[in-house]
Amino acid sequence: MPADDSAGTDADADAGSNGDPSDETVVQTAAEAAENVVFSRLDRSSVEDVDITVSFEDGILEVDIYLNAPDASGDPDRVADDAALAARGAVDDLFGA
């Protein structure tokens, strides 16, 4: 069920030249947020396959989530959509939006 929604010790290493988080930090934050939603809603044993792909280029965040959980007690499509929204929200929080 695809869903689509468009770490160092030195603070400067995690920030871009304008003080925003680095692209790597944005991608990692989004991916972690999405994964947390998936596995907080579904048992790991019910998830046959999950693929979370995040890109952040030129200020545009893309999150693609493929979730195969045919035996899940919840709605995998809804979980994938919510995970994509959580990824976007986590990135918005990074930028203080």
Which tens digit of pLDDT belongs to each residue from 10-30?
Answer: 333 445 557 789 999 999 999
Give one DSSP letter per residue of 10-27, joined into a string: SGGGGB-TTSSBPHHHHH
pLDDT at 66 over 70: yes
What tens digit of pLDDT does each residue of 26-57 get?
Answer: 999 999 999 999 999 999 999 999 999 999 99
* Number of domains forming the structure of the chain: 1
Say how far apart CA 86 and CA 47 lie, in whole Å: 19
Using CA atoms, how far apart are residues 60 and 5, in angstroms rounded to an integer? 10
Domain that holds residue 29: 2-94
C-alpha distances out from residue 18 to 6, 14, 22, 95, Å: 23, 11, 10, 12
> Is residue 92 over pLDDT 80?
yes
Kindly tell me if the per-residue pLDDT of 9 is higher than 50. no
Contact between 8 and 28 under an 8 Å Cβ cutoff? The reply is no
The pTM assigned to this predicted structure is: 0.80
Per-residue burial over 16-42, b if 16 or more Cβ lie within 10 Å, else e, is eeeeebbeebbbbbbbebbbebbeebb
Instruction: Provide the pLDDT for residue 11.
Output: 35
CATH label of the domain that carries residue 16 = 3.30.300.100
- What is the residue-averaged pLDDT of the chain? 86
Per-residue pLDDT, 2: 61
Residue appearing with tokens 């030129």: 58
